[in-house]
Homo-oligomer: A and B are copies of this chain.
């Protein structure tokens, strides 16, 4: 993740000096040629076509007043395609720049006749780590554009609903379409959160028995994961609340409760992330304490052993002295007596330490 971030920063820094609005793709290249597919529907009909190129866009847009068009672009690395789309749909150059810069933080930007929404689609990767993909939406009157970095997304149920006409989606306009897109992106956070909770629980079960450095590494990795997860959703709060607060020309009265619902979900996800943060922090404290307790216990036992044998060694050393006149040495039962004394000293110390609760 860190390396990824560094590389993104690197690319942004390489761009400095270019004219504002320069279209440079910042991010990994997953697709050389972008795929453009269109969903076009009315209350009665719906169709799905894959475009051959950007030239077909004007034809797509010449539609009846009731048609809703959803143009989905997969792959952001081809600046020419993005520029062409921007030209056909009159998108502000700075918006295009933001769309192509996948290190952009989530935001909502309002233009006179369009709304730009940039968000991060999370998913659980094959390695169990969350993956991030930038989703940009341009919402206009009767159309919605979605830009994504690579094939594979969370929009399939929406496609099905459009094509089969289930739910109210075909009865609503493009604002509602945009809402369902945003909502399905936000909902995906729960999958990552679930996995986070599972990892935390797995760690919690081990903190009292596993004292390896490894566990601490895992706790710290989790912490960093939460930092990045939080960073990817946090700006959405301000952004969605700004849609609701500001006078957004594009939003129909009837979809306002739906956008309020998104805001609500964002707050809930952030709430869960905060809870994760507090719990992982408590877990980390517990682990530290458990670790230090264990270490202290070990040192105490080891020191106890030494403490018991050092005085006994002294006694043995005493009778190892070579003085000519040491009356005890001459006694027939001296050796056995001293063994008894030693046993007594040892046992005494053991009992004393036990009583004190030192082991």
Among A51-59, A67-75, A78-86, A320-328, the stretch that binds chain B is: A320-328
* A183 and B20 within 8 A (CB): yes
Q: How far is the CA of A17 from the CA of B264 in the complex (A)?
A: 17
* A231 and B275 within 8 A (CB): yes
Is A61 engaged at the interface, CB distance under 8 Å to the other chain?
Answer: no
User: Chain A interface residue count: which class?
Assistant: 35 or more
The contact of A13 among B191, B208, B220, by CB within 8 Å, is B191
Q: How far is the CA of A241 from the CA of B335 in the complex (A)?
A: 86
Q: How far is the CA of A168 from the CA of B335 in the complex (A)?
A: 94
Is A30 engaged at the interface, CB distance under 8 Å to the other chain?
Answer: no
Is A242 engaged at the interface, CB distance under 8 Å to the other chain?
Answer: no
Is A29 engaged at the interface, CB distance under 8 Å to the other chain?
Answer: no
**Nearest neighbor of A18 in chain B, beta-carbon distance:** B157
16 more CB-based (< 8 A) A-B contacts, given A2-B201, A323-B334, A324-B331:
A5-B197, A5-B275, A13-B190, A13-B193, A16-B190, A104-B268, A107-B264, A220-B282, A224-B282, A298-B358, A309-B310, A309-B314, A317-B317, A317-B320, A321-B329, A324-B329
Per CB-CB distance, the 5 closest pairs between chain A and chain B, nearest first, are A316-B317, A13-B190, A16-B187, A6-B197, A19-B167
Using a CB–CB cutoff of 8 Å, the interface residues on chain A facing chain B are 2-3, 5-6, 9-10, 12-13, 15-21, 92, 94, 104-105, 107, 109, 111, 154, 156-157, 161, 166-169, 179-180, 183-184, 187-188, 190-191, 193-194, 197-198, 200-201, 204, 208, 211, 213, 216-217, 220, 223-224, 227-228, 231, 257-258, 260-261, 264, 267-268, 271-272, 275, 278-279, 282, 285-286, 288-291, 293, 295-296, 298-300, 302-307, 309-314, 316-326, 328-335, 338, 356-358
